[in-house]
Structure 1
């Protein structure tokens, strides 16, 4: 049963291809997503594919704030359990927010598709974020350069998400902007809570 909740490699590849088509402005990319009831719940399982990258991203906190680095196996396990808990929250909260927004803005029929697309976008954005994080460890760049690259990548991810959501909404610019801002704010709040918990 658990295995059925984790998307297969073929479904992951198909869904990511759908995202690329949408980012290129091709509406037919939406047809590559499974928006059935099973596909809806399986899209949350995309977190399993994103988890390795998420764990690596959390180790960046040790570089930025050395005092948060866990000592010993027990503290390390606790660190990743807490981090993973907030990652799961960051995966589920957008779905709840999209449901609420859908009821208020008359988008209830589109919510399942938006949730599926957002979940798969979460997988892609985790690995996009992996590259600037890895660059900090591998490239002899200054902190200013690393920070600039991270900000540019973050802004690019936000822009791509907006493009994808706007296309899924049939070109509804205002709704796409509202949803994008809402998702960004939710992510920032959860990130702040997670940093507070891990630093404490």
Structure 2
């Protein structure tokens, strides 16, 4: 099942803001709350299957406002196991701040001075309750956009994602330990049911690279 995203395009066609659109939410109001002045531009189907609603935003910042550069390195894991005998599953998480109900890989921000492999083991435990071992690096994924943070700051945001293959020797029922964080829930999803899940856009190419 595909999701719906709303996207704001600046005067030269650059993407200045993008986020999932929840059911029944007015996309123009959503962009207005992000400090933008939207004008309907059209719609298209994204590479990930999502319906993308495009709005032109001729004025992307408030008077005197400057986008603050912000880079966030993070580490994620592709974890496949058999929590139920004979049923191969992928470990996924959903997010508290995503009204579209999309799913993604477990992982998150790397603390200052923290080894990325250590970070991903920690994050997987916090978000899913699973103990994993890192196998090898899979790929590096990057995203860059200008938009509003959850706190309302206008940020020139650069996401750098280090993705690893990982093994879970003893898969168990999932539990979110990081209560109050960005993880809504975690789940072992059978591989043959992945097509029915709405995934974060950058996750699809990662799973293809992993052969899933």
Quickly name the TM-score band, shorter chain normalised. Answer: under 0.3
Higher relative contact order (CA 8 A, sep 6+): 1
- Please identify which structure carries the higher helix content: 1
TM-score of the pair, normalised by structure 1: 0.24
TM-score of the pair, normalised by structure 2: 0.23
- Please identify which structure carries the higher strand content: 2
